[in-house]
Chains A and B, each alone.
Chain A
Amino acid sequence: MALTLVSTLEGHEDIVWQVAWNGGILSSCGSDLSVRIWQKEKETTEYECTCILNKSHKRTIRSLQWSRDGQYLATASFDSTVNIWKFTPSSKSNDNEDSFECVSTLKGQEKELKSVCWSPNWKNFSLKKQYLACCSRDHSVWIWEKISSDDFEISEVLEGHEGDVKHVGFSPTEPILVSSSYDNSVRIWSHVSLNSDKKQKKGNSKGGKLVDELDEEMEWKAQGKLADHTNIVTSTSFSADGKILVSVSADRSLIIYEKKEEQEQEQEKELENVKEEEKVKGEEYKGKSALYEFSSYIQSTAGWVIRQKIENLHERNIMSVDIKKDDSKLTIATCGEDDCIHILQEDENNVIQKIISIPNAHKSDINCVTWGENNLLASCGDDRLVKIWKFEN
């Protein structure tokens, strides 16, 4: 088992904050107000910077994500806007070059945006719309819905966090959004059709309405809260089957959560019992005043149970975590302000252990790690470099 350095990509003129893969294409963004696209022409050649997108944001570009079909790139910046770029690869464009066109700008949040995330294709659910979530230092998470090839509308403004929101991520298998924040908590939000879909699947005759019939004013609601960290939760990641959630924090620990259906049902029943005691059968809360109470005092963990907690994983703040999406064994990469990259894997006893450690992977704080195809791992850091590593199992 090894993690070997394959490429070091220079070019950014300031801190590189995030990297994201689109198939074999790597993109990075940073404090130099630019987005850089790195590609290999052939397997045998080196990575080259094939495109630079600058002059699109007025301040640091903090986060970027490719959409599920690889056609759009979203960049979120400290200037409180998100730019949506349409990507036409050279094979499809007229002049044999990759082209990026800024088709939309999303604005409205008041403070610096910290993270952006596209929704995946939820195969087993009736919700077929495409969403983009972004979170900000103004304690809110905004979910935008793509309504046409170049336009977005706000689907929901989610509030409840009591501190800056650092990271957002959608679950790959169900319409659930997870946000992590400076208030040491991870909050779970779900689309209102989630319960209806589940009831329909269970053959519950009361069942819910279909997504298209829902006439709700609230499209996304608070579902639960995980408050197990003792410091800022910097990043989260889902496994490919959506049943494992990993979170890392400035308290230098990593927590692995597992979703238990029975737990979820139990908690729902508990809630029901409490209401029964008050002789009132509660349903979904409508109206702002009741909703506010619910999302403030929410105690439920929405079925997530701690499977394992690893303390002192890094010597300083852990900045990012990513679960490998194409491995049968649970494989996790983390990076931190201690300039280290760690790889963890599930062993025979289903316990997650650190298997590889790369000290001084970068010359300074490492801001992001993300898995790509073919066992590649990309990382970026304050040392202005983007590095690509090859993982051998």
Chain B
Amino acid sequence: MTRRSGLIVTDLDDFAPSQVCVNPLVQSKNKESTQITLTLEDLDDNSFNNGNGIGFEPESESESEEEEVQLTLSDCLACSGCITSIESILVNKQSLYKFIKVVSDQKQDNKVVIVSLSPQTRASVATYLNITPFEAQEKIANLFVKLGVHSVYDLSFGRDLYLQGLGEEFLSNCKKIEKIEKDYFEVKKKTQSKVQLNNLSLLLDDDDEYEDDDEEEELKIKIEQETQSEEKVSKNTFPTFVGNCPAWVCLAEKRYPELILPKMSKIMPEQEIMGYLLKKKVAALLSRKEEDIYHVSLMSCYDKKLEASREEFGTKTFGFKLVDSVLTSVEVKDLFQFDDIIAKFEKGEMEKEEMEKKFKKVDPKIDPETYQQILKKNMDNENPETVKQYSNLDYQNKKIYSMRERGSGGICEYLYRQMGQLFFNYQKDEIPKINWVNLRGKDFQSLKLKSKDQKKEIHFIRVYGFKNIQNLLRKMETDQETFHFIEIEACPHSACLNGGGQIKIDQIKKKRVQLNAILNAGQIVDKLEENYFNEKDFVIRLPDLNTEVNQIFEKYFSNENFKILKTEYHNRKKDFDKIKNPLELEW
């Protein structure tokens, strides 16, 4: 796992000569070149599958842009093998340049662009511009509407829908498992099981060596079936892992598919749920087709771009893409910088040459002329009404409804309360207080929900960061404690709030110096957390009390429609193994 600024494909060491591209599925046209120049044209449809027809959905337009692939994935789970060069291309296709192009060609292409804003990006921008989160929401909305976007929505609404879906799935699974095993949730005494070399869980081994090929096939089929069938619940479904962190999904699919995939929660993440809802609603509102709506979501990490291109969230499953493009907080900051530069130019404080130079410095691909033209076209756009719907915003008091949470959505706390009420039958005010216990620092915490008679318990775990994920998998191996629900987020310290796509601390510092609101690095991190939740700018409202969420859920996702929320995961280990040792050298 590297946090290098560049993902180096041509590793020169004394084990393997330098290779042009690690992925054996891709052959660059120019085999003599030492630089990596891969474009979409180099790849055919088969490049996006891993051989068994499942894969990713690239952009439908084939542009002959000779873009050099910048293999920059600043995500803490990205490593030399995990993210393939194809995935890097997909991520780079969802660039700011592409967004500007779409927005300027809207009328020609007959599209309508909508944007949904995540609370993490909002917090990042609020810290950057030294404003309150509510003001940040409005400012971001205005910024995008000026560019011609139709409307801007609050993604925390999608998060509430996600939580509701997750709650229903978990409750249903827990009820089913109790029928099969009556004492599944009973408080057990800790057993001193020693880890024997021979008894190590086969499934955790990266290089399985089965003596019988048939046995291996049988096991694989069995696991595939369990992963994809909706009704079957067994011990293999627990503990349930969340699937809303794309880096974790990537790691699970590539390194531990047999162990983890049957246990992953099948509910699709919030940006996809929001995409589904918004596209349906906006299409109906404007009497258009869902395919004509272009949904951009503003998130705090680059891996969300990869998640958005998953086939399961695209045309093959739904007839339209749920999320067309993801922009990170850094790219939103770029747009604010463009705004500043053009404002200064139009006031006469900057010469044209300097303006163009500064523009190019922020993003060399975007042409200032084009940008200015877009702004002129949309000068008269006002902030339309629809943004007030499907949101957690209180426009009267200029506050935001939220739970008290740490940075990724308060998933465990929500489920704790739901299970307390619906599984252990506590009254709302009777539920015991949430008391997180540190198992190893603040990034590996445990929470137990005990039943009224103290005989049963549900064990929640919250894990942030790669090293703690490894520690967790190791704990699961030794089997001393049972876990029932695990919230895993790849980014340490404060999960999505600390994502790889958030505005960097030194950028925030610079801007704040300009604004005369100086803070040091530690204070900036504190401020970021404040802008995500604090007592002053936020009103505590639990997601289950959001009547709009309940209504929408009831109408679109309940009963037979619940399956719309469900997605699938696939074993991508074969891909990864090939890439790990492309020349099959045994050193």
CB proximity of B530 to chain A, nearest CB, Å: 14
CB proximity of B16 to chain A, nearest CB, Å: 10
Q: Could you tell me the distance between the alpha carbons of A163 and B470 in the complex, rounded to whole angstroms?
A: 22
Taking Cβ atoms with an 8 Å cutoff, the residues of B that contact A are 1-5, 8, 11, 13, 15, 74, 76, 79-81, 194-195, 197, 200, 204, 206-207, 438, 440-443, 464-468, 470-471, 473-474, 478, 491-494, 498, 500, 502, 504-506, 509, 513, 518-522, 525, 580, 586-587
CB proximity of A139 to chain B, nearest CB, Å: 5
CB proximity of B3 to chain A, nearest CB, Å: 4
Q: Could you tell me the distance between the alpha carbons of A129 and B213 in the complex, rounded to whole angstroms?
A: 45
Q: Interface digits, A193-225 against B, CB 8 Å rule (1 contact, 0 not)?
A: 000000000000000000000011101000000
Measured between beta carbons, the chain A residues less than 8 angstroms from B502 are 289
Q: Interface digits, A55-99 against B, CB 8 Å rule (1 contact, 0 not)?
A: 010111000000000000000001110010000000000000000
Q: Could you tell me the distance between the alpha carbons of A290 and B441 in the complex, rounded to whole angstroms?
A: 20
A286 at the interface (CB under 8 A from B): yes
Measured between beta carbons, the chain B residues less than 8 angstroms from A285 are 505, 521-522
Q: What class of interface size applies to chain A in its complex with B? A: 35 or more
Q: Can you list 9 A-B contacts (CB < 8 A)?
A: A108-B474, A217-B443, A280-B509, A280-B513, A283-B520, A284-B522, A286-B522, A290-B521, A291-B3
Among the 9-residue stretches A4-12, A252-260, A292-300, A381-389, the one with 4 or more Cβ atoms under 8 Å from chain B is: A292-300
Q: Interface digits, A216-239 against B, CB 8 Å rule (1 contact, 0 not)?
A: 110100000000000000000000
Measured between beta carbons, the chain B residues less than 8 angstroms from A159 are 1-4
Q: Could you tell me the distance between the alpha carbons of A343 and B337 in the complex, rounded to whole angstroms?
A: 61
A288 at the interface (CB under 8 A from B): yes
Excluding A289-B498, A289-B502, A290-B505, 5 further A-B contacts by CB distance (< 8 Å) are A103-B194, A162-B8, A215-B442, A280-B509, A296-B5
A140 at the interface (CB under 8 A from B): yes
Measured between beta carbons, the chain A residues less than 8 angstroms from B474 are 108, 153-154
B513 to A154, Cβ gap below 8 A?
no
A104 to B441, Cβ gap below 8 A?
no
Q: Could you tell me the distance between the alpha carbons of A79 and B8 in the complex, rounded to whole angstroms?
A: 23
CB proximity of B525 to chain A, nearest CB, Å: 5
CB proximity of A156 to chain B, nearest CB, Å: 6
A216 to B441, Cβ gap below 8 A?
yes
User: Which of A151, A153, A284 has the largest number of chain B CB atoms within 10 A?
Assistant: A153
A279 to B513, Cβ gap below 8 A?
yes
Q: Could you tell me the distance between the alpha carbons of A164 and B467 in the complex, rounded to whole angstroms?
A: 19
Measured between beta carbons, the chain A residues less than 8 angstroms from B3 are 159-160, 288, 291-292, 295-296
Q: Could you tell me the distance between the alpha carbons of A107 and B440 in the complex, rounded to whole angstroms?
A: 19
The B contact surface, by secondary structure, is loop
Knowing A137-B15, A217-B443, A287-B493 touch, does A280 contact B518 (C-beta < 8 A)? yes
Measured between beta carbons, the chain B residues less than 8 angstroms from A291 are 3
A23 at the interface (CB under 8 A from B): no
Interface members, chain A 272-327 (any B CB < 8 Å): 275, 278-293, 295-296
CB proximity of A231 to chain B, nearest CB, Å: 11
Interface members, chain A 156-180 (any B CB < 8 Å): 156-157, 159-160, 162-164
Q: Could you tell me the distance between the alpha carbons of A102 and B195 in the complex, rounded to whole angstroms?
A: 9
B465 to A217, Cβ gap below 8 A?
yes
User: Which of A78, A107, A160 has the largest number of chain B CB atoms within 10 A?
Assistant: A107
Q: Could you tell me the distance between the alpha carbons of A83 and B195 in the complex, rounded to whole angstroms?
A: 12
CB proximity of B267 to chain A, nearest CB, Å: 26
A357 at the interface (CB under 8 A from B): no
Q: Interface digits, A134-160 against B, CB 8 Å rule (1 contact, 0 not)?
A: 000111101000000011011111011
Q: Could you tell me the distance between the alpha carbons of A178 and B581 in the complex, rounded to whole angstroms?
A: 28
Q: Could you tell me the distance between the alpha carbons of A160 and B468 in the complex, rounded to whole angstroms?
A: 19
B1 to A102, Cβ gap below 8 A?
no
- Smallest CB-CB separation from B82: which chain A residue? A110
Interface members, chain A 101-135 (any B CB < 8 Å): 102-105, 107-108, 110-112
A217 to B522, Cβ gap below 8 A?
no
B504 to A293, Cβ gap below 8 A?
yes
